[in-house]
Amino acid sequence: NAGVTQTPKFRVLKTGQSMTLLCAQDMNHEYMYWYRQDPGMGLRLIHYSVGEGTTAKGEVPDGYNVSRLKKQNFLLGLESAAPSQTSVYFCASSYRGGPTGELFFGEGSRLTVL
Amino acid sequence: QKEVEQDPGPLSVPEGAIVSLNCTYSNSAFQYFMWYRQYSRKGPELLMYTYSSGNKEDGRFTAQVDKSSKYISLFIRDSQPSDSATYLCAMSAGGGFKTIFGAGTRLFVKA
């Protein structure tokens, strides 16, 4: 009963390095999201996808790219990491058309950029 | 001004106390109001949701929405140490991808 799985759980990068966070869900959800969580800021939406092959910008998209080549996977990429991207990243998914849009979250990926 | 304001706490109470957690918001288009609970080093999980104004009760938890005041609350009765977590309010006009979260309130329930 995996739900939403994120890899890696921890990563330390140097400024300018690149990396990709992988999110996988086994609930056949249409919608997938990437959030970042920072102290005092709550969860902020980076990018989201309403279906395979589609992506859209959220509230804080700069410095990130995403891809949704398969329905069950949503990748978040950092091309040139900056210290301001030190954060905890959460992937989430939801049913299409759910009235509340209940979000199912992964356990998070902690990224530190030195 | 943020769309959703939530006091980050921390809030520390003794076991058995009644806890009141609150959020205010500015967007009158919000129709769905949710509370997520997040344990340390875990992802948030939906605790309760309410549509429009009114109250909703689920065991020891009661969610209230006052749309006229743009104010929502979560009450926890007979609080337990296992309730220690961060509680995030969230709201949307409909559809998961437009959910706006508060900053979260850290709650500690002492045995």
CB spacing of A106 vs B97 below 8 angstroms: no
How much is the average pLDDT of B66-78?
A: 96
Q: What is the pLDDT of residues A24-36, one digit of tens each?
A: 999 999 999 999 9
Residues 32 through 51 of chain A touching chain B, CB cutoff 8 Å: 33, 39-45, 48, 50
Which residue in A has a C-alpha nearest to residue B91's C-alpha?
A: A100
Q: What is the mean pLDDT of residues A69-88?
A: 97
Nearest CA in chain B to A43: B101
The pLDDT tens digits for B84-98 are: 999 999 998 875 567
CB contacts, 8 Å: A24 with chain B: none
**Three-state SS at B104:** coil
**Ramachandran class of B47: left when φ > 0, alpha when ψ lies in -120 to 50, beta otherwise:** alpha
Q: What average pLDDT does chain B have?
A: 93
Tens of pLDDT, residue by residue over B30-60, are 988 999 999 999 999 999 988 888 899 999 9
| pLDDT value for B97 | 63
Nearest residue of B to residue A56 by CA position?
A: B97
Best residue of B33, B97, B106 to probe chain A, by most A CBs closer than 10 Å: B97
**Chain A interface, best mutation among B35, B99, B100, B106, by max A CB count within 10 A:** B99
The percentage of residues in chain A with a pLDDT greater than 70, rounded to a whole number, is 95
Query: How many residues are given for chain A?
Result: 114
CA-only gyration radius of chain B, Å: 13
Q: Where does the pLDDT of residue A98 fall: very low under 50, low under 70, confident under 90, or very high at 90 and above?
A: low
User: Can you give the C-alpha Rg of chain A in angstroms?
Assistant: 13
Residue A18 region by backbone torsions, left for phi larger than 0, else alpha for psi between -120 and 50, else beta:
beta
Min CA distance, A45 vs chain B (Å)? 8
Give dist(CA A96, CA A102) in Å, integer: 10
Distance CA A88, CA A54 (A): 24
